Amino acid sequence: MNNIAPIKENIHESISSTCFHCGENCGDVNVLLHDKRFCCQGCKMVYEILHEKDLCQYYDIDAQAGVSLRGKKRTQFAWLDDEVIQSQLIDYQEDMITKVTFFLPAIHCASCVWLLENLFKFNEGILDSKINFIKKEIYLTFDSSKVSLRDLAELLVSIGYTPEINLGDLDKSKRKKVDKKLIYQLGVAGFGFGNVMLLSFPEYLGLDEINAIGFQKIFGWINILLAIPIVFFSGKDYLKSAWLSLQQRNLNIDVPISIGILTLFGRSIFEILSGVGAGYLDSLAGLVFFLLIGKWFQQITFNHLSFERDYKSYFPVAALLQNGETTPIQNLKKGDIIIVKNKELIPADGILMQGQGSIDYSFVTGESDAVAKNKGDQIFAGGKQLGESVEIQITKTVSQSYLTQLWNDAVFSKEGLSQHNQTQLLADKVGKNFTYIILTIAFLTLFYWLTIDVVIAVNAFTSVLIIACPCAVALSIPFTFGNAIRILGKHGFYLKNTKVIEQFQQVTAVIFDKTGTLTFTKDNSIEKNNKTITFHGDELTEEEKHHVMWMVSQSTHPLSQRILGLLRGEVETEKVLPLASKDFLEIEGKGLRAVINQKVIKIGSANFTQNKANDLANVFLQIDGKTKGFFTIKNQYRKGFETILHFYKNKNAIHLLSGDNEKTRKELEPYFGKNLHYLQSPKDKLNFTKQLQSQGEQVLMFGDGLNDAGALQQSNVGVVIAEDTNNFTPACDAILDAKSFPQLPRFSKYMQGCLRLVYMAYGLAFIYNLIGLSYAVQGELSPLIAAILMPASSITIVLFGVFSGTFLAWKIGLGDENHTPD
């Protein structure tokens, strides 16, 4: 008995310190149920729901698996009752059976999968639910006569998995469809390859000469039957691409490949039908099979990322009207009055009718400070309201609003892009020269032999076209770069496709955005030893500090949060002590005012505190009419930004485009010199990029927000820096995890090295070709030699590409994904 008591106590202690549901520290909150402690009412409620449905196995799979609900508002889904929205969201419907897909960002562990796949226990209307863990999606099948879409969404909210639905989800055409064609083609080619090889054995071993049963003829016919789907189904894309390229009077790499495929096929049919020989169908099948494997290898999808997002992914689906009804935002008309709550996005341009607006336009302009708006002011779509709810009268429909108009600019359509963004790719450049050289050799051979023997002449001519087929060249890039993308992806640098690696090498000018790209915003975590925020003036007493802390803690303004972070590091308790002040006021765009212990404390702009503005001061502090001093708040630059700027400066021209004001000019002048451009609107950034390109520059752009979206699209390579890769990122060519930012020079070097490896692989392919050609021009290329030489060269290239690439990564310091030397 004595032994049991302490153990029980231990359990109790371990339970009581963290929330049973989500594992967060409970602090001094005391929510108890069934001897279990929860950090908030929300977590307790989820537990109750699960307990009632006998689903507590949820906690056995992963302990404390829940999603913290502290401080989270319940999202409303009343607008899901709207039939138009429903029909746009639903994937499939027949009678009452309906299928729908939701994105649930909260999915994070095995328990989530278990619970969500047992969703049918909550409501009998739910027939089936499947999770895709990597994509964080749930596929629901339900009976719409028993349960509505809104019920489903609200059920998910009640157990902590809030579905995220935005305007982009309504556009079905844009939904990603998995392209299965390549997999089918690969399957057919693999099937054909294996069987054709098998049926070619009598030929390899010379069995016919011994037994003379006539294997060769029958097997030859079967081979032709097998080769037809290989050429016209599996190899269809190569033939098509070559044909298109010829029509444009251009030669890409697919032209010599198609010449090779068709010559192999034609000559083999001729040989088999006329009984001259066994043909080269084994080489043909192998060629197509290897090519398709290369294509498949370079198709890497980072499922959790999207490179194609536009403004629609940021916009809500529905808006709340003044009369309490919700409406799809596409249906908003001029004159409608909508209510926008704290932290909600304004979907359309309008005029502020009611309430105090404080609009965060960082989405649109990159300017980090919120803008104060008063009754009657014009408000643009794309801003986020901070603070109280406001009423806005719509003046333009969503499709005509400023932001949407910007997005509909020509650059965003594919046609507008094609002229600037098309850089000639290495493979096509090589393909062009290759075709000319091969055709020259082939015809020279043909003419030489024509003077001696017509049969040998045709034989040698086709042999040259067959053996020279640039299979190895076509495989080099997919395997070397495909491998590189995987390695870079492990280190937090995600490339859209293999072309981006080549485009990186051609860059001549680099543009940086400032806010969010070179700098980052921090929350109110304690800032000890931090030089980016400092206080200048009289020393504050402990009491005064607490007063200021209490005031700034009442405000959500970014500057308030930064000051709170500074002071929390300076006082002993690190906590904000509760104070009672009835006279607290936050005047948007100006500052804070409160009366504490009969003293008037004002924190805010120079104007607000009757001070003279100066360059260093961002926020003044005034107590009882006397100015105590001011806070200087500098931007926080990302770690390693100096190295990166120097790295690019040594090679290219670098520019800075910022939507912010000129405050940081002095700090950044040493790096950028005169190439500093402030107060740039999204349109200005776009135009600047265009202008550089018209001067013949290849532009690399680093950005982060929607305000850079135009420039990112226009640039030759657009890289988005993301704090959290699960968050939204504008359309781009590459996404860089902010944590990997200091590694950028290393990535750059690696990509350069990979390009060199491709050239080396070309050298290897050239040697193989030389051997093959030496047989071919003499008219002595036997099917056996072709069947050995062609796969051998392909396999060499593949192995070289993958192994040398991995070795290079290891040498540069990208070998171990957890190892990040500085």
**Site residues (CB under 8 A) for another protein?**
54-55, 57, 61, 110, 113-114, 117, 121, 130-135, 178, 180, 183-184, 187-188, 191, 194-195, 198-199, 211, 213, 215, 218-219, 222
| CA angle, residues 87, 326, 324, in degrees to nearest 5 | 155
Please give the torsion angle defined by the CA atoms of residues 138, 142, 147 and 149, in that order, rounded to the nearest 10 degrees. Answer: 40
DSSP strand pairing (357-360 vs 384-385): antiparallel
Q: Which is nearer to another protein, 138 or 686 (CB)?
A: 138
What's the min distance (Å) between Cβ of 204 and another protein?
15
Q: Which is nearer to another protein, 188 or 735 (CB)?
A: 188
> Which amino acid would we find at residue 349?
D
| Other Cβ atoms closer than 10 A to 667 | 11
What's the min distance (Å) between Cβ of 799 and another protein?
25
Q: Which is nearer to another protein, 192 or 682 (CB)?
A: 192
What's the min distance (Å) between Cβ of 132 and another protein?
5
> Which amino acid would we find at residue 137?
E
Pair 397, 740: CB distance under 8 Å: no
What's the min distance (Å) between Cβ of 492 and another protein?
19
What's the rounded Cα separation, in Å, for the pair 49 and 743?
A: 46
What's the min distance (Å) between Cβ of 478 and another protein?
19
What's the rounded Cα separation, in Å, for the pair 329 and 763?
A: 58
Q: Which is nearer to another protein, 202 or 366 (CB)?
A: 202
Pair 118, 55: CB distance under 8 Å: yes
Q: Which is nearer to another protein, 305 or 701 (CB)?
A: 305
Pair 309, 731: CB distance under 8 Å: yes
Dihedral angle sign, alpha carbons of residues 46, 50, 51, 57: negative
What's the min distance (Å) between Cβ of 57 and another protein?
6
Closest CA to 602 of 620, 582, 580: 620
Distance of CA 579 to the CA centre of its chain: 45
- Read off φ and ψ for residue 514, nearest 5 degrees: -95, -70
What's the min distance (Å) between Cβ of 178 and another protein?
6
Element (H, E) at 442: helix 426-450
Q: Which is nearer to another protein, 58 or 520 (CB)?
A: 58
| CA angle, residues 684, 690, 696, in degrees to nearest 5 | 145
Question: Distances in Å between the alpha carbon of 658 and those of 229, 515, 677, 704?
Answer: 56, 7, 6, 11
Distance of CA 694 to the CA centre of its chain: 28
Adjacent-strand bridge partners of 357? 373
- Read off φ and ψ for residue 592, nearest 5 degrees: -115, 150
The distance in angstroms from the start CA to the end CA of the chain is 56
What's the min distance (Å) between Cβ of 214 and another protein?
10
Q: Which is nearer to another protein, 108 or 522 (CB)?
A: 108
What's the rounded Cα separation, in Å, for the pair 418 and 438?
A: 30
Residue 324 exposure: Cα atoms within 13 Å on the Cβ side: 0
What's the min distance (Å) between Cβ of 131 and another protein?
6
Residue whose pair of structure tokens reads 């030669």 in the numeric block? 251
SS3 content of the chain, % helix, strand, coil (to 5): 50, 15, 35
What's the min distance (Å) between Cβ of 86 and another protein?
25
Question: Distances in Å between the alpha carbon of 284 and those of 265, 314, 372, 657, 788?
Answer: 7, 49, 69, 53, 12
SS (H, E, C) 248-289: CCCCCCHHHHHHHHHHHHHHHHHHHHHCCCCCCHHHHHHHHH
SS3 476: helix
- Residues 6 or more apart whose CB falls under 8 angstroms from that of 149 comprise 80, 81, 86, 89, 90, 98, 100
What's the min distance (Å) between Cβ of 133 and another protein?
4
- Read off φ and ψ for residue 469, nearest 5 degrees: -50, 120
Q: Which is nearer to another protein, 55 or 653 (CB)?
A: 55
Q: Which is nearer to another protein, 186 or 731 (CB)?
A: 186
Q: Which is nearer to another protein, 62 or 344 (CB)?
A: 62
Q: Which is nearer to another protein, 198 or 616 (CB)?
A: 198
What's the min distance (Å) between Cβ of 284 and another protein?
18
What's the min distance (Å) between Cβ of 117 and another protein?
7
Structure token pair of residue 230: 């290989």
What's the min distance (Å) between Cβ of 59 and another protein?
13
Q: Which is nearer to another protein, 191 or 672 (CB)?
A: 191
What's the min distance (Å) between Cβ of 153 and another protein?
22
Element (H, E) at 770: helix 744-776
Q: Which is nearer to another protein, 186 or 287 (CB)?
A: 186
What's the min distance (Å) between Cβ of 237 and another protein?
17
Q: Which is nearer to another protein, 219 or 380 (CB)?
A: 219
Q: Which is nearer to another protein, 191 or 302 (CB)?
A: 191
Pair 42, 67: CB distance under 8 Å: no
DSSP 8-state assignment for residue 519: B
Q: Which is nearer to another protein, 134 or 767 (CB)?
A: 134
